[in-house]
Structure 1
Amino acid sequence: MGQVLETDGGTKARILAAASDVFTQKGFRKATIRDICSRAGANPAAVNYHFGDKRSLYTQVLRGWIENLNRSHPYRTPEVELQPAEARLRFFINAMLRRIFCGALEDREMWIRRTRIVLMELAEPSSGATLRVEQWCEEERYFRAVVAELLGDAPERVVHFTADSIVGQCIQYFLGIAHIPEEVVALAEEDNLAQLADHIIAFSLGGIRAIKELNQCR
């Protein structure tokens, strides 16, 4: 039995796919291994073999969601790295928004459910995934470096305030998915999303110029 499980990559993939669906529909606490295995056509022993337990399986599912978004909408590329800081800021903001709205038009209900799960996980981690630490700290450091370059000679605290203010403009739509999805989902249309990105970029660049002037006057 152990040898079969060890070589059955198809079973592991089916369990992950089934777990993704079940966790999306029920959340971590209400989902059961029985539900997942029934959908995957797998023996519960396969979950223990490949993942250890439900909590570890949940962590793998969450990581898979985020890694898929990272691959689809990276916040940096080798080509973009060669561009000026303003172009890198534009690329980062566009990537953030596209991650937030990715899937909204294909499966609205799944998009809303997964967003709520991630928000709950960030507020009260249940899987040990520490999503913010594992997935976002590197992005924060990168973006703050871009903002620091645009600000010039600015104190570190000012850089942090400015970067967080810019990111906050994007995050509010992520939070809105959980509370007012009807209003937010309309922004997922390509023309609306492009207009939103242009607005946030223009507002952010204007804010950076104002902060630079303020620091120069002190």
Structure 2
Amino acid sequence: MTVSHPFSTKDRILGAAEELFAQFGFAGTSLRQVTSRADVNIAAVNYHFGSKENLVNEVFRRRMDEMSAQRLAALKVAVREHPGELEPILAAFVSPALAIAQDRHGGAFARMVARAFAEKNDALRRFLSEHYGHVLREFAKAIAACLPQLSKDSLYWRLDILVGALTYAMADFGLIKRPSGVTETAHRDRAARELIAFAAAGFRSA
């Protein structure tokens, strides 16, 4: 009897890889572990991705494409409807990331992002910079328009710090856990508000 799977072979491989990368890291996860978790053979991985490096990139692309599109769309609205205001720009950057992290399929991705920061993986960093660096540049441009007195050097330092704080919040490493009786959505919204307020103060600091 043939066992039917609800997802395509490629989707199963991506899902298995995301979970394993989040748990064991990129170097600590073998393709054999991925094929075992996805219930496929190594030929399927080679056919769809060609190499482990490409598999890592595609796992990121699956979430990053969606998140980047949401961020840029929200940024466009923020700049149009709240010209000169910093907080809506920061919300456009922060909220889509926290929403993906809360999604039941996105929790592993959030932990995997934290792994990407913790592990030295130059190939992955190049991939992310080449494919998603334009998103950070668009936000940097919008922030600079709100804070013309802030040097470009300081702006990028502070944006980098915001990315680190957001990654920490996405991966739920923080000491503040969701209180009993508070929904995931309400807890996420509170995290977003606090992070946006904190970041805004940091960007405005002399």
Tell me the equivalent position of 2:30.
32
Match of 1:183 in 2: 175
Deviations 1:20-53 (A, max 9, x none): 2222222222222222122222221111111112
AA partner of residue 140 (structure 2): R
Change (3 A) 1:167 1:92: farther
Aligned to 2:43: 45
Asked which structure has the greater RCO (Cα within 8 Å, sep 6+), the reply is 2
Q: Are 2:85 and 1:93 aligned?
A: no
Which residue is 2:115 aligned to? 117
Structure 2 portions without partners, runs of 5+ = 1-6
For 2:177 and 2:99, locate their aligned partners in 1 and report how far apart those are by CA, in whole Å.
8
Residues 1:102 and 1:29: Cα distance change in structure 2 (over 3 Å)? same
1:103 paired residue number: 101
Over the aligned positions, Cα root-mean-square deviation in angstroms equals 3.7
Change (3 A) 1:102 1:185: farther
Given the alignment of the two structures, is residue 59 of structure 1 paired with residue 52 of structure 2, yes or no? no
User: Which amino acid letter does the alignment assign opposite residue 56 of structure 2?
Assistant: Y
In structure 1, list runs of 5 or more residues that go unmatched. 1-8, 212-218
Query: What pairs with 1:108-187 in structure 2 (closer than 5 Å)?
Result: 110=108, 113-121=111-119, 124-125=120-121, 127-128=123-124, 130-152=126-148, 158-162=151-155, 164-165=157-158, 168-169=161-162, 171-175=164-168, 181-183=173-175, 186=178
> Could you tell me which residue of structure 1 aligns to residue 4 of structure 2?
none
Distance (whole Å) between structure 1 residues aligned to residue 55 and residue 68 of structure 2: 20
Structure 2 counterpart SS, 1:42: coil
Distance, in Å, in 2 between the alignment partners of 1:158 and 1:47 is: 46
CA contact (8 A) 1:18 1:40 kept: yes
- So what's the TM-score if we normalise by structure 1? 0.66
The aligned amino acid for 1:181 is F
Aligned residue-pair number: 192
Task: State the shift of 1:171 in Å.
Answer: 2.9
- Partner SS, residue 84 of structure 2: helix
* TM-score normalised by the chain length of structure 2: 0.70
How far did 1:54 drift? 1.6
Q: Residues 75-94 of structure 1: matches in 2 within 5 Å?
A: 75-77=72-74, 78-87=76-85, 89-94=86-91
| Structure with greater Cα Rg | 1
Partner Cα distance (2:203, 2:117) in 1? 28
Describe the shift of the 1:175–1:63 C-alpha distance in structure 2 as closer, same or farther (beyond 3 A): same
